[in-house]
């Protein structure tokens, strides 16, 4: 099936006001596309103004806002009409207690079903890009194991009673992983059955990089915890293991490259993770990076709970290890350095007034 070009007509982005979605819109505009940005709340300027501002940035593409909701059947029919590609970024998330695990699961699976129904009705879509997650890849494995796109979160779960839909409301991140696995298989199956479009999945891990709006802070997200470190508080997430960091701009750019690629085929998936070991860092290395990037800030470091772990094992748990080799090779993706990613994350959070830095 032929790749997509900006001359083929408009493209649509779901979840366009979100952290990744907004950057997908930006990358598309830079490539000259006319973008239909699908959002759920057109009355919140924090979710719309940063998108509309892009029309005044001199890009050859244009963005227009469309209101649609994942759980509203057929609400995407109008924005998808005559589109050559759909980049499905939107999903229900649990940040800040916004949704419980059942709502996260149903939002991903049922919501994507609604999106696919509108794709099929449009009849013009050639490429469907689904933003999955590394949660659909990571599975029980020994420390130091390097994950690839061949791995699925459902692997090595034969004796795992938690890997089931029973009592889903109590399962937290496991429910999210199950939803992403199920939905990836679904989008590939529907695309194959339809025969008019190809589905490709992108699986990002610890996404950091510049925030474009205040709503991108997302209480409980990786960027939120990094911001707390700039406020002088200890690292409270992921301190037991590694932060495997990918830049949000790379996640977005990879998706544009996927719709334009002659290499991609239905069912392909790309993990968007660290470029190499420089992006796989523990919380102490993270603190060291931030102290170098922001020498005037008293950056928080490891929590007290890490001390006995280091005393016993000498280091944090050696996982997750994963690199975006396939995206760089197949798509020609050029990634940002870890220093640039961390600098832009912290600086934009401070610029937006989301963080009050603890000065030395």
pLDDT of residue 97: 54
Range among 153-162, 215-224, 265-274 rated most confident: 265-274
Q: Where are the domains of the chain?
A: 7-212+244-274+320-335
pLDDT in tens, 299-329: 999 999 999 999 999 999 999 999 999 999 9
CA separation for the pair 47, 122 (Å, rounded): 26
pLDDT at 99 over 90: no
pLDDT of residue 175: 83
pLDDT at 172 over 80: no
> Quick one: what percent of the chain has pLDDT higher than 90?
86
* Residue range 7-212+244-274+320-335, CATH number: 3.40.50.720
Q: Give the residue among 42, 21, 340, 342 at the shortest CA–CA distance from 212.
A: 21
pLDDT in tens, 190-201: 999 999 999 999
CA separation for the pair 113, 315 (Å, rounded): 43
CA separation for the pair 176, 179 (Å, rounded): 5
Three-state secondary structure of the chain: CCCCCHHHCCEEEECCCCHHHHHHHHHHHHCCCEEEEEECCCCCHHHHHHHHHHHHCCCCCEEEEEECCCCCCCCCHHHHCCCCEEEECCCCCCHHHCCCHHHHHHHHHHHHHHHHHHHHHHCCCCEEEEECCHHHCCCCCCCCCEECCCCCCCCCCCCCCCCCCCCHHHCCHHHHHHHHHHHHHHHHHHHHHHCCCEEEEEEECEEECCCCCHHHCCCCCHHHHHHHHHCCCCCCCCCCCCEEEEEHHHHHHHHHHHHHCCCCCCCCEEEECECCHHHEECHHHHHHHHHHHCCCECCCCCCCCHHHHHHHHCCCCCCCEEECHHHHHHHCCCCCCHHHHHHHHHHHHHHCCCCCCCEC
**What phi, psi does 62 have (nearest 5°)?**
-140, 150
pLDDT at 95 over 60: no
pLDDT at 15 over 90: yes
pLDDT at 1 over 90: no
Do strands 269-272 and 206-208 pair parallel, antiparallel, or not at all (unpaired)? unpaired
pLDDT of residue 93: 60
pLDDT at 256 over 80: yes
pLDDT at 94 over 60: no
> Quick one: what percent of the chain has pLDDT higher than 70?
98
pLDDT at 251 over 80: yes
Confidence of residue 92 (pLDDT cuts 50, 70, 90): low
pLDDT of residue 165: 84
| Mean pLDDT computed over 200-214 | 98
pLDDT of residue 203: 98
Average pLDDT over all residues of the chain: 95
- A 10 A CB-CB count for 49 gives 12
pLDDT at 96 over 60: no
pTM reported for the whole predicted model = 0.96
């Amino acid at each position: 099936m032929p790749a997509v070009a900006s001359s083929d007509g408009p493209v649509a982005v779901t979840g366009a006001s979100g952290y990744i979605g907004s950057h997908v819109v930006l990358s598309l505009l830079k490539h000259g596309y006319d973008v239909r940005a699908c959002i759920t709340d057109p009355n919140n300027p924090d979710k719309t103004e940063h998108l509309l501002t892009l029309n005044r940035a001199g890009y050859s593409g244009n963005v227009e806002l469309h209101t649609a909701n994942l759980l509203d059947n057929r609400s995407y029919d109008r924005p998808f009409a005559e589109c050559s590609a759909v980049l499905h970024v939107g999903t229900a998330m649990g940040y800040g207690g916004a949704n419980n695990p059942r709502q996260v699961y149903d939002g991903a699976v049922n919501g994507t079903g609604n999106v696919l129904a509108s794709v099929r009705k449009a009849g013009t879509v050639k490429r469907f890009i689904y933003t999955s997650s590394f949660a659909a890849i990571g599975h029980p494995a020994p420390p130091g194991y390097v994950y690839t796109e061949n791995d699925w979160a459902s692997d090595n779960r034969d004796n795992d009673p938690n890997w089931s839909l029973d009592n889903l409301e109590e399962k937290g991140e496991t429910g999210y992983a199950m939803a992403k696995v199920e939905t990836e298989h679904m989008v590939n199956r529907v695309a194959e059955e339809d025969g008019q479009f190809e589905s490709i999945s992108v699986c990002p891990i610890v996404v950091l990089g510049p925030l474009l709006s205040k709503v991108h802070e997302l209480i409980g997200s990786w960027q939120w915890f990094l911001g707390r470190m700039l406020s002088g508080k200890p690292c409270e997430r992921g301190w037991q293991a590694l932060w495997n960091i990918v830049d949000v701009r790379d996640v977005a750019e990879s998706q544009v490259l996927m719709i334009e690629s002659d290499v991609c085929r239905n069912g392909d998936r790309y993990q968007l993770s660290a470029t190499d070991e420089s992006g796989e860092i523990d919380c102490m290395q993270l603190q060291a990076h931030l102290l170098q990037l922001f020498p005037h800030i008293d950056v928080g470091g490891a929590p007290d709970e890490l001390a006995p772990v280091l005393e016993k094992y000498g280091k944090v748990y050696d996982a997750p290890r994963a690199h975006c080799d396939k995206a760089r090779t197949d798509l020609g993706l050029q990634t940002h350095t870890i220093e640039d990613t961390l600098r832009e994350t912290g600086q934009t959070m401070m610029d937006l007034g989301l963080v009050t830095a603890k000065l030395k």
